[in-house]
Amino acid sequence: MQTAHPRLFSHYVAILRSYLMDPVPDKVAAARSVGTLAVTANMSTLDLAILHQNAMVELADEFTFTTSRNGRLKQACGFFAQALVPMEKHQRDTRKTNQRLQQHNKFLRLHAAELAQSNKKLAKEVVRRKAAEAAAIKGHDEHLALFQESEVMQKKLRQLTRQIISAQENERKEISRELHDEVVQTLVGINVELAALGQGAALGMRALQTKIARTQRLVENSVNEVHRFARELRPAVLDDLGLIPALHAYCKGLAERKKVKIEITAFGGVENLADDRRTVLFRVAQEALTNAARHANATVIKVLIQQIPNAIRMEISDNGKSFQVDKVLHAPNPKRLGLIGMRERIEMIDGRLTIESIPGKGTTVRTEIPLAPAASHP
């Protein structure tokens, strides 16, 4: 008889035979043990059924199964049922284990889902932290850049302050020197004349008149000099009469002293500008005119004040020798503050300053200051 489990088959046949010959309940245990062996051999219920079938064929010569009268068939069936018991139990156990495994799997799946979610959260957190870190680094860089910029600015400011202080000092020195040279000398001269007058009471009337006239001229000169200082420091006429008269007065004095021709063309509406703006224009004109007279050797200087859309433009141009504007304005350590001060004043009132110096033609200083809304409606 062909079978996949020959040893088990013979064992089964032997035990079945023994049972059929003497079917006592004790032998039920033997049937069960065969079932257990079948489970161990990894047999299915169907395999066991076939094995039982084959055993029946094997024993067909020894026992009569065709009639149910002697009950052999029934006994054989009972035997088979007992052999199935361990298998059934095994299957039940397997089912239970499977159920447990399924539950376990379900739990694992849940746990895995939770893990995936917390992984996702972690990944997000990592991204957030990285971004925060990058932002912190960037913020630090920006902070450093700003800090360095402010240090440079502070340095510049300190430098400028020192320059302003030294410029003020120079100006004071100049005023003091001129007061000494011009006014004091004249006063000393007057004193000498007066002393001579006191001693020479015996002088004739004519000589006396001549001396008095000379002394009067000296006094006049002193008065004029003192007026000039006062005008240059702060021309009263700018406050009392306005920008255009102040410019006329200043240009008249400058033209006489420096032997230069100065022409003024001015738009009257400029007087509607606020005080501080007119002062800026006056100071810029004063510096540009002095520069043209002092540095350019110009023969003619023109002052033009006109209205352009939304702004007032002032130009001071000379026909003298040119100079390198950029070099003066962007000198790393400027000693001269005229042009720089001009630019500072203009920028303080949101204006623009351009200086054009062309060899053979001369220099033009051009400023444009925006018309404040109130200034156009006096």
Please report, as ranges, the residues that interact with ligand ADP according to CB under 6 A.
287, 291-292, 295-296, 318, 320-321, 323, 328, 336-339, 363
Total residue count of the chain as it appears in this document: 378
Q: Which does 320 bind (CB under 5 to 8 A by kind): Mg ion, ligand ADP, none?
A: ligand ADP
If the CB atoms of residues 39 and 280 are measured against ligand ADP, the closer one turns out to be: 280
* Residues 207-236, mask of contacts with Mg ion (x by CB under 5 A): ------------------------------
Told to check if 338 binds Mg ion by CB under 5 A, we report yes
The CB-of-352 to ligand ADP minimum distance in angstroms stands at: 18
If the CB atoms of residues 79 and 250 are measured against ligand ADP, the closer one turns out to be: 250
If the CB atoms of residues 86 and 338 are measured against Mg ion, the closer one turns out to be: 338
Q: Which amino acid is at 268?
A: G
The CB-of-321 to Mg ion minimum distance in angstroms stands at: 15
Among 215, 286, 291, 363, binds Mg ion (CB under 5 A): 291
| CB-based closest residue to Mg ion | 338
Told to check if 364 binds Mg ion by CB under 5 A, we report no
Q: Which does 295 bind (CB under 5 to 8 A by kind): Mg ion, ligand ADP, none?
A: ligand ADP
The CB-of-154 to ligand ADP minimum distance in angstroms stands at: 24
If the CB atoms of residues 176 and 191 are measured against ligand ADP, the closer one turns out to be: 176
List interacting residues with Mg ion (CB under 5 A).
Answer: 291, 338
